[in-house]
Chain A
């Protein structure tokens, strides 16, 4: 696992190129603390900061192949690389690392090589003969890749700060990103939280030639392909295959253990595969509202793992918020990435470089409440006056206070009844959730027509498969989740960015290419019959783990939000600093924020602040820190690095 960076430019002398590429790779050194390789040319340079996981000795990058024609560097893991070597009978002496395999396969097959690669990756290949640059990103967007194009300059990097480092430029945060985070909870399509910086979308590749950029999608989520089978293998067998494939590398592994069924299944199977207890890690909260330690202890006792948990307090959240923003490089709608950042640090300190996580299971196996909500609303819509049908909502949202008390059910029901009949809407599943935007929007200066909900939804629709409208309501909801929250937030702000901050690599067995292909063939009905969410996983686990673990209802991972900033000195000083910055921040509505902060400060009104107010606060505060970070990225830094191995290309 690594960080990569590079550029192509019209005219530049060798020394200037060297300074710039050094600055770029230095800025993301945390991603690859083990070794750094830089290739300097006049009109282009490429660099890799490497975290050694596999082929530790032979994996130096970038590699130059085919008589200096191709320059290849990459960040990630290719899980099927041994199979590919076998398939093409490549010589083990010649192809002794993943990066060399990628170079070789590209020479052989051109861009089509990507269809054979399974894994999590961002790949850069430069063809110096044709002066063409190719960038590839994995199917779900586990590994990041950003770029910027201006006139005859093209810059890319694993993190946005490496692009800023090229010219020591102060990047501007994007108003569009604030709107998008308020509505979808993430950036969408190729946009990022900074003006002029784009991300290569998951499952796509980019070709840059003669100042022109072309982007092609090489993969469509198999969910959008209609070809359902009724018979399939036992899910546990499928998951086990995926785990075996992903136990890849020479540095060992460990697992997160949240207490939920997804990570319990992983930790259990990893223990079985290894044949001895594994190391597991979890977050606990001082605040019992969010804490899952009881469930974690239950599964730990069964698998007898060497378990280590990290207790998180409000002070931890506020003290690390800025650092986390610096790594996430994104507007955030909740503080949940902070505990994940601290947990990865804890994993690193314990001597691990690779950690398995259950991320992706809820999207692939239909685990989220929103899938249940969609089913209930559809069922209810057939008989909207029914008194009984909406009662199912109580079963789904048993943990929310407004459902706990029968007294409020009539009015709460009304919120879910809005647009009940409007099933023609492509985003039927997300109608209720996205209503929050009407409140959140008022905290920001989003009067422009572009930020009307309907226009934003239309723009999102363009990134979805052409046959999206023909999919069933569950598949639609799944693709929406995958294209917004999963790739835009969970895999980045709660995933790659916070683990790589400490040089730790996440593994995502539920997002394995073979597993997702196999799962896509199974009908939604079979995955989750009725309201039995994630039934296919639960059912197949019943033979191995106790029912209380297997059938534990979903407990959404949450962390303390705005209130964490109002019950301690450190938090309050951050809030003061935020208020000071409001006059200079044209994106935030000063009056609304001043008012919001006074409500949070006043004990009589702080408990009246709901989900939407908390979300507005976190988005606003993240913009404040993003601006600070962008200023820091542009500060002149020492461009020396003794660790770097330079090569020159004349």
Chain B
């Protein structure tokens, strides 16, 4: 199974738009800024994302990976997911 970065990104943005009323109306979602600092999300939002990624991509995110370094922006999250998927394959 070959999954591209674009696919991960499209899916993530679609997921965010479907569940986040404020992001749903944005034309362009900022990819390098923290969604928390932009006011789109709180800690519940991050928990929701972790749960979603594990289910969707069948990956395991370790406790010590749930940090700002990996969840501080959309691009950081994509990078983490991509790494996990490639290791799996």
With contacts A439-B22, A592-B21 taken as known, whether A410 is within 8 angstroms of B47 at the C-beta atoms is no
For A604, the chain B residues whose CB sits under 8 A away are 18
Q: Which of A590-641 contact B (CB under 8 A)?
A: 591-593, 595-596, 598-599, 604-605, 608, 610-613
Q: B19: CB under 8 A from chain A?
A: yes
- Report which of B18, B21, B43 forms a contact with A411, defined as CB distance below 8 A: B43
Binds B, one of A67-75, A303-311, A400-408: A400-408
**A410 and B44 form a contact (CB under 8 A):** no
Q: B45: CB under 8 A from chain A?
A: yes
- Report which of A411, A441, A592 forms a contact with B39, defined as CB distance below 8 A: A441
For A595, the chain B residues whose CB sits under 8 A away are 21-22, 24-25
Query: Nearest Cβ distance between residue A348 and chain B, in whole angstroms?
Result: 39
For B63, the chain A residues whose CB sits under 8 A away are 406-407, 410
Which B residue's beta carbon lies closest to that of A415? B43
Q: A436: CB under 8 A from chain B?
A: yes
Query: Nearest Cβ distance between residue B35 and chain A, in whole angstroms?
Result: 10
Q: Which of B30-66 contact A (CB under 8 A)?
A: 36-48, 50, 63-64, 66
Q: How far is the CA of A401 from the CA of B47 in the complex (A)?
A: 10
For B68, the chain A residues whose CB sits under 8 A away are 411, 414
Q: Which of A383-413 contact B (CB under 8 A)?
A: 401-402, 405-408, 410-412
Of the listed residues A407, A415, A436, the one surrounded by the most CB atoms of chain B closer than 10 A to its CB is A407
Q: A442: CB under 8 A from chain B?
A: yes
Of the listed residues A406, A608, A613, the one surrounded by the most CB atoms of chain B closer than 10 A to its CB is A608
For B41, the chain A residues whose CB sits under 8 A away are 439
**Chain A 413-443, CB within 8 Å of chain B: the 1/0 string?**
0110000000000000000000010110111
With contacts A411-B71, A442-B22 taken as known, whether A610 is within 8 angstroms of B45 at the C-beta atoms is yes
Which A residue's beta carbon lies closest to that of B23? A595
- Report which of A410, A415, A439, A441 forms a contact with B66, defined as CB distance below 8 A: A410
Q: How far is the CA of A448 from the CA of B12 in the complex (A)?
A: 32
Q: How far is the CA of A604 from the CA of B37 in the complex (A)?
A: 26
- Give the secondary structure class of B's interface: helix
Q: B4: CB under 8 A from chain A?
A: no
Query: Nearest Cβ distance between residue A592 and chain B, in whole angstroms?
Result: 6
- Give the secondary structure class of A's interface: helix
With contacts A401-B47, A402-B47 taken as known, whether A408 is within 8 angstroms of B21 at the C-beta atoms is no
**B67 and A414 form a contact (CB under 8 A):** yes
**B42 and A415 form a contact (CB under 8 A):** yes
For B42, the chain A residues whose CB sits under 8 A away are 415, 436, 439, 610-612
- Report which of B18, B22, B39, B43 forms a contact with A402, defined as CB distance below 8 A: B43
- Report which of B36, B39, B47, B50 forms a contact with A442, defined as CB distance below 8 A: B39
With contacts A592-B21, A595-B24, A595-B25 taken as known, whether A408 is within 8 angstroms of B36 at the C-beta atoms is no
**B44 and A611 form a contact (CB under 8 A):** yes
**A408 and B67 form a contact (CB under 8 A):** no
With contacts A402-B43, A438-B39 taken as known, whether A605 is within 8 angstroms of B19 at the C-beta atoms is yes
For B20, the chain A residues whose CB sits under 8 A away are 599, 608
- Report which of A408, A593, A596, A605 forms a contact with B46, defined as CB distance below 8 A: A408
A-B contact pairs, 16 of them (CB 8 A): A402-B43, A406-B63, A408-B47, A410-B66, A411-B68, A411-B71, A412-B43, A436-B42, A439-B39, A439-B40, A443-B22, A595-B21, A595-B25, A596-B21, A608-B48, A612-B42
A sample of 13 more A-B contacts (CB under 8 A), given A438-B38, A443-B22, is A402-B43, A408-B46, A408-B50, A410-B66, A411-B43, A411-B46, A438-B39, A592-B21, A592-B22, A592-B25, A595-B25, A608-B45, A610-B42
Q: Which residues of B contact A (CB under 8 A)?
A: 18-22, 24-25, 36-48, 50, 63-64, 66-68, 71
Q: What 3 A-B pairs come out closest when comparing CB atoms?
A: A438-B39, A596-B21, A595-B21
